[in-house]
């Protein structure tokens, strides 16, 4: 093959005109464009490709000026060779005449390439002219001298230069006017960057209008600005009530502890969500008592409704402090048989403001209420009120036997508007009064992310409104949803003053637990204004500290004051309170003895009660009464176990939860008690776990350990 080309190169071909050359190149380009028209190339960047060395060795001598100028064989060789050359040029890494310009591929979807004009010296496209000019300009090994062909080549040089200049000019326009491959805009641009990008866009738009896209392989310039994309962090407007942890108190000066019971569980669910999302929960969001009371416990139950509570006290060594003991108080409420449950009149007060337009808010809320409707009895009544820019009644009081109508009303809820929460609460109470059931359960169930941005001027005014409605016998419970806007402080205030409970729903499984499995305790109260008071014997106990219940503290005199509001207990509810106490004479005592204390003389009755460690009192009102009743229980060494391992599983597991809650909230007393110790205690006392709640807790402690760096205290 090489010998044949050598023979051909030695011959003198007939002279070819410029028109013949251009026609040959145009025919090759037309064949190339028709091939591209049927191509299915994808959009993207073409990797740099090195041109064939064999091609260069063959093409250079053939396309020498002298050979092209005098050989009739040029026409036969140019047609197929030009097509291959054009393909190679298209695949190369840089465009002749452009500096630092990258090549990208863009194919116009569902659009054919523009037809090629009939070949002529002036109708060739920019690609054709460029290819022709470059080849006429010559590249490769020099050919033998020939006077006539050299003269012709010299005469052609001005025309060749003109073709090359025009081709480059046309190619520049084509490059700038080509459609750009979309790329994500930076999250944050400087003003200069924005102006540069806008100028480039305007220029490209103008050139595109003038020249138009060709709908085929196109050279694209590199972007003007390249900047790392930074995700936009949403504003966090969550609010939590701040409360310092209870201090260690001296029995000599402050022997009585009084607080309102709390059966809320929102804090545990919120902390769980934070840990599952890879972050430690806000310390103010952690309420230890709500974490402890989240779990079901099999405490001893009362035998009849005549005495709605049974208290069980266990005294044991403290796992995180060898010089103290824990006094564990477990209270179990009477469990109402479902057939004896009173008729329920429920009003669903649903937040449909714009902030609820997230998957874990309104959609989850609707699914949760559908579960609750399935749990209710046919004679129960449901109403639905929504609030956004203003409140509206979606469903008038409707019996559950018309379940399809209730579910349809739930399904039609859509988000939008601001949050006129106070107006919605007022409308909900009006509907509750309209369908009021005497002797039954009358309750408003507020479901929201807590973003009350329209309504009373302060939380205190909203609190007063709810207190006034509570006196009519209509209670209020709160279901919190979502993150970002959650106003936990306000939700707690509303629930406490509405004689209701506060729960946080982060998953459909949590909705099942709160509204289905625990529906009796959530909806049917067995007692209201329940208060606990513990008096410690100074002869046996030097100091004490109540774990949790910081937001439920009451004054000593409030215990006997029936006008003071307190928490409520529902059917089957269990309440746990844990004190850390320091025995008299223990080296762990923190407070010095008083210099001017009274003479150590036994007071009246002290001798008779010498064996007591403390005295527990529970005061409560029946749901339909305004007068409180009293239950008392003395605590003695008979309630003590010699070691933590001898305590019941439920007691030990609740202690593990209390330790974990204290670590999350930053209590210094458990600084040296490791996460591994919490895991070991919880895993060993997990016991029966039919719903997997306790196994989930152990996993959460492991997550907290990892997120905190594995240290002994929460960060």
* pLDDT value for 606: 54
Cα–Cα distance measured from residue 704 to residue 279, given in angstroms and rounded to the nearest whole number: 8
Q: What is the mean pLDDT of residues 427-438?
A: 93
686 or 89, which is more confident: 686
Q: Hey, which bits of 400-540 come out as E strands?
A: 441-448, 475-481, 502-505, 525-536
Q: Name the residue with higher pLDDT: 447 or 451.
A: 447
* Higher per-residue confidence, 55 vs 585: 585
- Specify the pLDDT at position 558: 97
Range in 259-263, 317-321, 391-395, 447-451 the model is least confident about: 447-451
Neighbouring C-beta atoms of residue 394, cutoff 10 Å: 15
Q: Which of 302-311, 426-435, 535-544 is most confident?
A: 535-544
Q: Which of 34, 216, 22, 30 is nearest to 122 (CA)?
A: 22
When pLDDT is cut at 50, 70 and 90, the band that residue 400 belongs to is very high
DSSP secondary structure code for residue 113 in this structure: P
Tell me the average pLDDT of the chain.
76
pLDDT of residue 473: 87
Rounded to a whole number of angstroms, the distance between the first and last alpha carbons of the chain is 80
pLDDT band at 99 (very low <50, low <70, confident <90, very high): very low
Higher pLDDT, 600 or 471: 471
User: Which range, of 74-78, 520-524, 642-646, averages the lowest pLDDT?
Assistant: 74-78
pLDDT of residue 94: 43
Highest mean pLDDT among 77-81, 233-237, 304-308, 624-628: 624-628
Torsion of CA 238, 241, 245, 251, to 10 degrees: -170
Share of the chain above pLDDT 90, in %: 45
The two tokens of residue 664 are 């999350």
Query: Do the Cβ atoms of 424 and 454 come closer than 8 Å?
Result: no
- pLDDT band at residue 14 using 50, 70 and 90 as cut-offs: low
Assign 555 a pLDDT band (cuts: 50, 70, 90): very high
Could you tell me the CA-to-CA distances from 639 to 328, 579, 634, 635 in Å, in that order? Answer: 10, 14, 9, 7
Q: Where are the alpha helices (DSSP H) in 319-458?
A: 362-375, 403-411, 421-434
Summarize pLDDT for 636-682 with one digit per residue, the tens.
999 999 999 999 999 999 999 999 999 999 999 999 999 999 999 99
Three-state SS for 297?
coil
Q: Using CA atoms, how far apart are residues 245 and 247, in angstroms rounded to an integer?
A: 6
What is the pLDDT averaged over residues 606-617?
Answer: 83
Tens digits of residue pLDDT in 145-186: 444 444 444 445 555 555 555 545 554 444 444 444 444 444
Q: Which of 79-93, 408-422, 443-457 reaches the highest mean pLDDT?
A: 408-422
Q: Give the whole-number percent of the chain exceeding pLDDT 70.
A: 64
pLDDT at 347 over 60: yes
Residue 154's alpha-carbon distances to 65, 69, 319, 372, 616, in angstroms, are 10, 10, 102, 95, 117
**Structure confidence at residue 583 (pLDDT):** 97
Binned at pLDDT 50, 70 and 90, residue 71 comes out as very low
> Is the predicted pLDDT of residue 230 greater than 70, yes or no?
no
Mean pLDDT of 334-360: 88
Please work out, in degrees rounded to the nearest 5, the angle formed at the alpha carbon of residue 294 by the alpha carbons of 335 and 621: 45
Sequence-distant (6+) residues with CB within 8 A of 556 are 256, 258, 533
- Out of 57-61, 310-314, 605-609, 647-651, pick the least confident: 57-61
Q: pLDDT of 577-601, one tens digit each?
A: 999 999 999 999 999 988 887 655 5
- Looking at residue 114, its pLDDT comes to 43
Half-sphere exposure of 243 (CA within 13 A, CB side): 16
Q: How confident is the model at residue 74 (pLDDT cuts 50, 70, 90)?
A: very low
Confidence of residue 336 (pLDDT cuts 50, 70, 90): confident
Query: Does residue 525 contact residue 443 with C-beta atoms inside 8 Å?
Result: no
Q: Which of 327-331, 469-473, 645-649 has the lowest mean pLDDT?
A: 469-473
pLDDT of residue 419: 58
Position with higher pLDDT, 590 vs 422: 590
- At 15, is the pLDDT very low, low, confident or very high (cuts 50, 70, 90)? low
Is residue 486 within 8 A of residue 238, CB to CB? The reply is yes
């Amino acid at each position: 093959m090489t010998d044949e080309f050598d023979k051909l190169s030695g011959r003198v071909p007939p002279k070819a005109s410029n028109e013949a050359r251009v026609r040959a190149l145009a025919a090759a380009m037309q064949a190339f464009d028709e091939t591209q028209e049927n191509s299915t190339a994808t959009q993207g960047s073409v990797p740099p490709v090195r041109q064939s060395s064999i091609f260069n060795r063959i093409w250079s001598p053939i396309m020498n000026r002298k050979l092209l100028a005098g050989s009739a064989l040029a026409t036969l060789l140019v047609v197929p060779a030009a097509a291959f050359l054009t393909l190679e040029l298209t695949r190369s890494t840089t465009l002749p005449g452009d500096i630092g310009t990258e090549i990208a591929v863009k194919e116009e979807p569902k659009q054919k390439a523009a037809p090629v004009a009939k070949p002529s010296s002036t109708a060739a496209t920019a690609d054709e002219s460029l290819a022709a000019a470059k080849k006429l300009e010559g590249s490769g090994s020099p050919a033998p001298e020939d006077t006539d062909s050299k003269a012709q080549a010299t005469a052609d040089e001005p025309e060749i230069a003109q073709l090359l200049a025009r081709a480059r000019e046309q190619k520049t326009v084509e490059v700038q006017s080509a459609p750009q491959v979309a790329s994500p805009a930076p999250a944050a641009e400087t003003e200069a960057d924005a102006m540069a990008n806008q100028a480039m866009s305007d220029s490209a738009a103008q050139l595109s209008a003038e020249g138009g896209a060709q709908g085929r392989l196109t050279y694209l310039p590199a972007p003007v600005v390249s900047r790392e994309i930074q995700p936009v962090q949403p504003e966090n407007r969550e609010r939590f009530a701040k409360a310092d942890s209870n201090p260690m108190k001296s029995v000599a000066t402050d022997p009585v502890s009084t607080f309102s019971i709390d059966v809320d569980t929102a804090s545990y669910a919120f902390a769980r969500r934070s840990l599952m999302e890879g972050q430690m929960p806000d310390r103010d969001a952690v309420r230890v008592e709500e974490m402890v009371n989240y779990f079901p416990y099999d405490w001893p139950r009362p035998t009849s409704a005549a005495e709605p509570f049974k208290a069980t006290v266990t005294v044991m060594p403290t796992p995180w402090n060898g010089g103290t003991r824990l006094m564990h108080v477990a209270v179990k409420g009477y469990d109402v048989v479902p057939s004896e449950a009173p008729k329920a009149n429920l009003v669903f007060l649903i937040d449909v403001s714009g902030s609820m337009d997230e998957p874990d808010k309104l959609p989850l809320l609707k699914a949760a209420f559908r579960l609750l409707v399935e749990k209710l009895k046919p004679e129960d009544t449901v109403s639905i009120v929504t609030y956004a820019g203003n409140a509206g009644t979606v469903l008038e009081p409707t019996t559950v036997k018309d379940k399809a109508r209730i579910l349809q009303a739930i399904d039609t809820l859509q988000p939008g508007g601001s949050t006129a929460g106070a107006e919605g609460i007022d409308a909900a109470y009006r509907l509750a009064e309209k369908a009021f059931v005497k002797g039954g359960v009358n309750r408003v169930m507020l479901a929201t992310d807590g973003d009350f941005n329209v309504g009373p001027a302060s939380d205190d005014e909203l609190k007063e409104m709810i207190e006034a409605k509570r006196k009519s016998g209509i209670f209020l419970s709160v279901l919190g949803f979502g993150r970002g806007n959650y106003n936990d402080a306000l939700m707690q205030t509303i629930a406490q003053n509405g004689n209701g409970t506060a729960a946080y729903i982060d998953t459909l499984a949590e909705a099942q637990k709160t509204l289905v499995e625990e529906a009796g305790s959530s909806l049917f109260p067995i007692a209201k204004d329940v208060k606990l008071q513990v008096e410690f014997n100074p002869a046996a106990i030097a100091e004490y500290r109540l774990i949790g219940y910081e937001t439920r503290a009451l004054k000593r005199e409030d215990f006997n004051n029936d006008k003071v509001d307190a928490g409520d207990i529902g059917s089957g509810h269990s309440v746990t309170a844990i004190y850390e106490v320091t025995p008299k004479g223990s080296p762990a005592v923190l407070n010095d003895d008083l210099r001017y204390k009274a003479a150590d003389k036994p007071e009246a009755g002290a001798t008779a009660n010498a064996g007591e460690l403390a005295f527990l009192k529970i005061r409560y009102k029946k749901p339909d009464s305004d007068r409180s009743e009293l239950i008392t229980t003395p605590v003695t060494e008979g309630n003590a176990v010699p070691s933590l391992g001898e305590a019941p599983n439920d007691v030990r597991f609740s202690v593990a939860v209390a330790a974990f809650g204290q670590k999350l909230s930053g209590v210094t007393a458990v600084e040296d008690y490791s996460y591994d110790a919490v895991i070991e205690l919880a895993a060993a006392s997990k016991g029966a776990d039919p719903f997997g709640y306790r196994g989930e807790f152990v996993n959460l402690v492991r997550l907290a350990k990892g997120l905190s760096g594995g240290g002994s205290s929460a960060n």
